Chains A and B, each alone.
Chain A
Amino acid sequence: MFKYNNEILGIQTRISDSCTSNCYPKDLIAFRWVFPDNRPDNFLPRALINHNGQELTKNRCNGWSLSMFDTEENAINELNCVYTNRPNIFKKLGTHVAKGNINPDDGLVSPINAKGHFEFFEFENSNIEVKFVTITMVCE
């Protein structure tokens, strides 16, 4: 069962499709954009972060997953790319990169795209935040 199971099931019913059909349990090292001060939204899915258009995000599968990268370099590069489009975006996405281990018990991992990005769907009992350590500052 997923951490945000009701929401994911609701979306799946509405779109008549699965959010996680191409996702699998895996052992891997993952990297995520975070803030360095252990704030709660470091590991909150997008749908729970207030913003204009939040209703749209709540109705999406990836609104209820965590955005991650397969390497530190990919995480830094992509944050820099997004920064080019929106210089203040680090105030919403994070200023640092954290590194952690993901195990099959933690949740399901989507396919990794060409930029090294993947979505991570947490299981109900996952405590993923304690497995991540902040390692690199990207923006001040």
Chain B
Amino acid sequence: MRKGIHINQLPYNNLSIIGVLMSSYFPSTIVYSDDENNPFIVEWLDVNDEDQDKYVIYKTSPELLKKFIDKKINHLELINNCIDGILIEFLDNLENYESFYVLGFDFLDKNSLPKQNSFFDSSISSDLDLIINHFSLADLELEEDDDLENLALQYDSDIIRIHFENSGQVVNHGSIDTTVLGNLLVCFNNLYQEVARDRFNGVDRNRYRNSVKKKFIFNNFKNTKVLVSEAASFAIYIKPQSSEVVISNDLTLSSKDIISDIFELFENSKNSSSLNEIKESHNKSVFRELNFFSEKVFEFGLSFDLKFFNHINFNKSSKKISLLDSEHINRNIKEIVETRQETLVYIGHFCSLNIDTGYYTFLTNLNKKIKGYISDFLFDDLNTFNFITIYKIEVTKNSFYNLNKLKNRNLYTIESCEINN
């Protein structure tokens, strides 16, 4: 027995064929228009035992059609979001009135419908331009349909939306590899924390170091929390632990400032000269975390966009980062390497000395341990040094400064060594 309710005529007026959306091998998705320029779609579904072609026709909207063509929704979603939830099955052609049956999406044979991962493929579309032009889809601006405002009201908080995209390997519509998401969220949270720390502790991390009370307030601000993922995409909503905290009369921390700093960091790090200009404006731990995050994004082959919604003034801000941007950020941070040199004098004694290579460690009278190599001039005197005598040494300190590493690498070359009297 056929499912649905039989009707004797289509409830649509004056349908005219516009073109074949998919595919050029066989017209399985054909677009029609009525005289009010509403789009209708006929989908071929199957052949029955009597060798009759089974189709379904439904009304859609220019917005949904554009979303489908732009791959923002898959084919199943296009069908499922038909206007008024009405689909009409028919056999062979639209003049076959006896075969019209109205039904809902849930009553369609799922085995005949596109699979979840089926998106629009322009390479096998016969009449894409015709369809776009007829419904003026190129000029159509789609409304943003994210949940930022609703979530901000629900949680009385600023909200951050992170949307990931890639070619379908690790990110699909509505799903993402667990490892990928876990890694990315942790890296993003760490970046958020370090940028927040710049504002709280200062770039040199000295401010409020000893203030237990202020640290407690900061610790209730610095993290983010995952709220929900978005249906039919891969986007996730997170909220700051607190949108705003007052540290002192002079310092209020807000998530909008942290996000603004993060957006600026992304933007400036895309370009090596801009990055050079700002490198002293943040602690190295910020660049380290930015490096980790962009490295992971690039490793997983993703592009992403961040949206921020301020729940007080309802302002939105956003930033898009392409796969190439992440590669540039990663490379630019790693390429910031500087070498600094200075001459220093220490008094102390040797702790170890390799007479073959000249490598040493030396403990100064200020209890600082330095290590490096004896210069070539002193090599012949190596076997006269001992571990008891107090020496005065002159060293050349070479510092290798990497923007994405917390500690500089320092090498001390002993240029002269004499007994300290």
Contacts and interface: CB of A to CB of B under 8 A. Distances in A.
A87 B115 contact: yes
A56 B21 CA distance: 12
B44 A51 contact: yes
Contacts of A84: 114-115, 117-118
Contact of A88 (B30, B46, B94, B124): B46
Nearest to A55: B17
A86 B121 contact: no
B26 A60 contact: no
Contacts of B124: 82
Contact of A85 (B28, B30, B93): B28
A91 interface: yes
B27 A89 contact: no
A1 interface: no
Contacts of A130: none
B123 A114 contact: yes
Interface in A20-49: 46, 49
Interface residues of A, number: 26
Given A81-B121, A86-B114, A89-B26, A52 B46 contact: no
B121 A87 contact: no
Interface of A: 46, 49-53, 55-57, 60, 62, 67, 81-82, 84-89, 91-93, 113-115
A83 B83 CA distance: 26
A85 B75 contact: yes
A120 to B, nearest CB: 14
Given A51-B44, A85-B22, A91-B47, A56 B27 contact: yes
Contacts of A88: 45-47, 111-112
Contacts of A56: 17, 19-20, 27, 30
Contact of A67 (B25, B46, B93): B25
Contacts of B53: 50-52
B218 interface: no
Contact of A87 (B24, B27, B111): B111
B261 to A, nearest CB: 43
Given A56-B19, A84-B118, A89-B28, A113 B123 contact: yes
A29 B47 CA distance: 31
B151 interface: no
B123 A87 contact: no
Nearest to B115: A84
Contacts of A93: 25-26
A60 B126 contact: yes
Ranked 3 nearest A-B pairs via Cβ: A53-B27, A88-B46, A85-B118
B398 interface: no
B47 A52 contact: no
B42 interface: yes
A115 B124 CA distance: 10
A115 B123 contact: yes
Given A52-B55, A56-B27, A86-B44, 20 more contacts: A46-B25, A50-B92, A51-B26, A51-B44, A51-B53, A52-B94, A56-B17, A56-B20, A56-B30, A57-B27, A82-B25, A85-B121, A86-B28, A87-B112, A89-B28, A91-B46, A92-B26, A92-B47, A113-B123, A115-B123
B41 to A, nearest CB: 12
Nearest to B28: A86
A6 B139 CA distance: 40
A47 to B, nearest CB: 11
Interface string B78-106: 00000000000000111000000000000
Contacts of A115: 123
B399 interface: no
Contacts of B75: 85
Contacts of A92: 26, 44, 47
B271 interface: no
5 contacts: A52-B93, A57-B20, A84-B114, A89-B28, A113-B123
B30 to A, nearest CB: 5
B30 A52 contact: yes
A96 to B, nearest CB: 15
A24 B104 CA distance: 49
Interface string B107-150: 00001111101100101101000000000000000000000000
A140 to B, nearest CB: 14
B260 to A, nearest CB: 43
A56 B17 CA distance: 8
A50 B23 CA distance: 16
Given A87-B111, A87-B115, A53 B25 contact: no
Contacts of A87: 111-113, 115
B126 to A, nearest CB: 7
Interface centre among B26, B47, B53, B123 (most CB of A within 10 A): B26
Interface in B270-313: none
